[in-house]
Amino acid sequence: MASSILPYLGSVPLSFTVPAVAAAASYVDARYGISNDWDLLGKFFSNIFKARWNEYKDRISVFYILEQWAQSNRADQAFVLYGDNSYTYKQAYEMSLRYGAWFKSKGVQPGQVIAMDFMNGDAFVFIWFGLWSIGAKPAFINYNLTDEPLLHSVRAAGTHLLVIEEEPAQNSLTPEIKAALEAPDFLGNGEGSTEVVVFDAALRAHVEALEPYRAPDEDRSGDKMPDMANLIYTSGTTGLPKPAIVSWGKCRLGAGFIGQWLPLKQGDVVYTCMPLYHSSAAILGVVSTLTQGSTIAIGRKFQRAGFWADVRKHNASVVQYVGETCRYLLSAPESPVDKQNRVRLAYGNGMRPDVWNKFKQRFDVAEVCEFYAATEGPSGMWNRDVNGFSTGAVGRNGALAKLIVGSSIAFIKLDFETNLPVRDPKTGLCSKVADGQPGELIYKLDEKNINERFQGYYRNDGATSKKVLRDVLVKGDAWFSTGDVLRDEDGLIYFCDRIGDTFRWKSENVSTAEVAEVLGRADDVAEANVYGVEVPGHDGRAGCAAIVFHAGKSADPVTLRKVAKHVTKGLPRYAVPLFLRMSTDADANTTGTNKQQKTHLRDQGVDPSKVPEDLFWLRPGSDTYEKFGEREWKLLVAGEAKL
């Protein structure tokens, strides 16, 4: 057949055939994601090779990457920028060795876990790499924690030393907390107490005046890719934080891959003000930058008003976001200098689809690189959006990727009432969802060596085992449970919800993320946090949205009617939020990484006696949200009003 077509092609002008072939090739590539897959897989396998090679050489520690740059032709290039301080690779390396010398003088041994409670800053990096330099393992404590959550986090690390920065200490280190930490049996099981050292200006000056000490290689020897590099705690959106083991493999593979995927280059300045106690800023920010020999600019904490000023000050070319960060930046009043930056891309996880293009256009950011990952998870997903084709997706898996690594991921059916996988009553096995349908994302594990890809939670076998599903698709197999619901639409993967956030109403599953996305498009709504609430006399949970309006807007009749019209037009009837809760402070309902918290909102429900803010409801038969108070609550309790 090919030979019969060729004569006809000879009579077609080249000016027509070349664009036609190019267009066809472009369509095929877009449809099947071949070039995207080739790029991802090439960088993935390249980083596996590098990590295995360094493991073979007994140099798996990331400390050696810092040392390599400090002794290379990039020694005098900036590595860390913070405030008015700038440290070259050589200076950061020597500073880390000074901190290592101080820890050594404190008796810290290789393999020992040391807790550090610090806000963002240059000292965070030096303490972290100082511990790595002597073979110790840092545990990153969330500096916002106080009282029992703080005690729990330190105890869970089993550490005999907590180094706490002066500012967090003023907030959390009360005499009672300090006494509890230093009690003879604070750690339990006869393990003793935890010494507390407040890292103030005087101590910092002392440490940074010490002679650099490079511990011998033996102190860092013997670690393999699955072994612990450090502890990073889960965000604590539900329950107390759990210390997840971050392995050297994850540091090498995850950080190295991100650095190449973006890609970061010499001369790039990456700006992050996301908390360094979290894996996004620490591993995928600082370490990713380190792997490529670029520069990391660190902001003390996220502040909407100062974000872009910091970006311009450090001349950043890349910015990092987490959660609702970009929505908060968009909620600031527009400025003539919005586009005055050299940022070429923003990367992170959690950007909502309704924010995506608005952010790119307003701040003149050409690319958004969104990824999906979890601190304790064995893998992730990645999506580079340049032309809008993949806007809103957290990952792209084309035909090539599915062929090579497709057997290592699956989306399985979930019972949204029990929040457990649906299992066949005869076989006990789970089943995959149809294409385009939401299901729990799971990752394949080696059933004979779970630890190879999933190291779990430190000293917590119970929590670790709960994340492993067995007998899923075949008897005897093992998979990592992400706890997240996603859907795959022709290779574009979209985040739907956290398991437990999706709720049932009128016999339908309601995705809080999708409802929030629609609400986010309403003209007057700055932010919406959606959750399901129990209502007396009704099965399932009714939708409720904690709303923050744009500046100058309030819950007046005109605005409430506009919101009601917007959601009833944009959502199926069963998904329309029946209640609104007026929030004045979005920060009160988010974590330190700008991720929304729903648990306490869900627990308070819509009982006016438990909710300190104004409530409104979409009364049956009404076309607008109306005030909801004790009288209306009593009608529901008495069964005199049906939703």
pLDDT-derived band at 27, boundaries 50, 70, 90:
low
88-98 burial, b for 16+ CB within 10 Å, e for fewer?
bbbbbbbbbbb
Question: Both tokens of residue 570?
Answer: 């944009």
Question: At residue 10, does pLDDT exceed 50?
Answer: no
Residue 8 has pLDDT above 60, yes or no: no
Report the percentage of the chain scoring pLDDT > 90.
74
Average pLDDT, whole number, for the chain? Answer: 91
Q: Is 315 helix (H, G, I), strand (E, B) or coil?
A: coil
- Three-state DSSP class for residue 153: helix
Q: Strands 113-117 and 161-165, how do they pair?
A: parallel
Give the domains, in start order, of the chain with CATH numbers: 2-32 (no CATH), 43-301 (3.40.50.980), 405-445+466-497 (2.30.38), 501-637 (3.30.300.30)
The per-residue pLDDT for range 154-183, each reduced to its tens digit, is: 999 999 999 999 999 999 999 999 999 999
Looking at the chain, the whole-number percentage of residues with pLDDT higher than 70 is 93
Judge whether residue 1 has pLDDT over 50.
no
Mean pLDDT is highest, among 37-46, 358-367, 501-510, for 358-367
Query: According to DSSP H, which parts of 368-440 are helical?
Result: 399-405
pLDDT in tens, 422-454: 999 999 999 999 999 999 999 999 999 999 999
Question: What does the alpha-carbon distance between residue 452 and residue 468 come to, in Å, rounded to a whole number?
Answer: 13
Distance between CA 283 and CA 277 in Å, rounded?
Answer: 10
Pairing of strands 615-617, 626-628: antiparallel
Q: Residue-wise over 465-490: b if at least 16 C-beta within 10 A, else e?
A: eebbbebbbeeebbbbbbbbbbbbee
What per-residue confidence (pLDDT) applies to 331?
A: 87
- Give the number of residues written for the chain: 643
Cα(167)–Cα(118) distance, rounded to whole angstroms?
A: 8
Please state the rounded mean pLDDT for residues 317-340: 93
**Spatial contact of 232 and 243, defined as CB atoms under 8 Å apart:** yes
- Whose tokens are 């290789």? That residue is 110
Which pLDDT band, with edges at 50, 70 and 90, does 239 fall under? low
Amino acid at 367: E
pTM for the predicted model, two decimal places: 0.83
Binned at pLDDT 50, 70 and 90, residue 586 comes out as low
Centre a 10 Å sphere on the Cβ of residue 190 and count the other Cβ atoms it contains.
7
